[in-house]
């Protein structure tokens, strides 16, 4: 069967990842580890913004938490891109996947706004609202990620 689109060609080239008994599950585990590092560290920092752990300096905690969150995001993005490439056409037609990608963009915009207004220095009501929104957005993205297999 000849691929008809570049996405089909990519999916065909990466087909062994889907058929090897350990390749795709390993990518899924890496993806989950990345999500855990990302969300766990974001929630830790967000709790500090909400006033928990007031004895912990915000700048020091944020430096560590954001480094680990970015590492987790990188793992999740890398593994997610490879998983996407193995079945790009199917995923682009999947409503849960499209919603998840929209939520990731929303999370990025919220993070840019949060850091752009220097919310870690202000720790005000808007910063708390932004962190609450961040947690909700990431949880919704995780739900959509799980629903991909069922829609």
Q: What is the token pair recorded at 101?
A: 């990608």
pLDDT digits (tens, 9 = 90+) for 59-90: 999 999 999 999 999 999 999 999 998 888 89
pLDDT at 14 exceeding the cut of 90 = no
Q: Exposed (0-12), middle (13-18) or buried (19+): which is 141, by Cβ within 10 Å?
A: buried
pLDDT of residue 54: 92
**Cβ–Cβ contacts within 10 Å for residue 39, how many?**
21
- 1 pLDDT exceeds 70? no
Mean pLDDT of the chain: 91
Q: What is the pTM of this model?
A: 0.84
89-141 pLDDT per residue, tens: 899 999 999 999 999 999 999 999 999 999 999 999 999 999 999 999 999 99
Question: What is the rounded CA–CA span in Å between residue 30 and residue 126?
Answer: 34
DSSP for the chain reads ---SSHHHHHHHHTHHHHHSTTHHHHHHHHHHHHHHHHHHHHHHHHHHHTTTTTTS-HHHHHHHHHHHHHHHHHHHHHHHHHHHHHTHHHHHT-HHHHHHHHHHHHHHHHHHHHHHTTHHHH--HHHHHHHHHHHHHHHHHHHHHHHGGG-
Who's near 63: CB < 8 A, 6+ residues apart?
none
Q: Which residues have a Cβ under 8 Å from the Cβ of 117 and sit 6 or more positions away? A: 126
Work out the pLDDT band at 6, boundaries 50, 70, 90: low
pLDDT at 75: 97
């Amino acid at each position: 069967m000849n691929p008809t689109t570049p996405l089909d060609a990519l999916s065909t080239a990466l087909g062994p990842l889907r058929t090897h008994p350990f390749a795709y599950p390993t990518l899924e585990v890496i993806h989950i580890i990345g999500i855990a590092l990302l969300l766990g560290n974001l929630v830790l920092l967000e709790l500090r913004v909400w006033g928990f752990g007031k004895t912990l300096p915000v700048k020091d905690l944020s430096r560590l938490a954001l480094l680990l969150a970015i590492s987790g995001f990188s793992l999740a993005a890398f593994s997610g891109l490879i998983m996407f490439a193995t079945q790009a056409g199917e995923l682009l037609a999947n409503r849960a996947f499209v919603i998840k990608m929209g939520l990731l963009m929303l999370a990025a915009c919220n993070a840019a706004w949060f850091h752009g207004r220097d919310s870690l220095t202000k720790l005000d009501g808007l910063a708390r609202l932004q962190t609450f929104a961040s947690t909700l957005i990431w949880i919704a993205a995780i739900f959509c990620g799980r629903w991909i297999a069922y829609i």
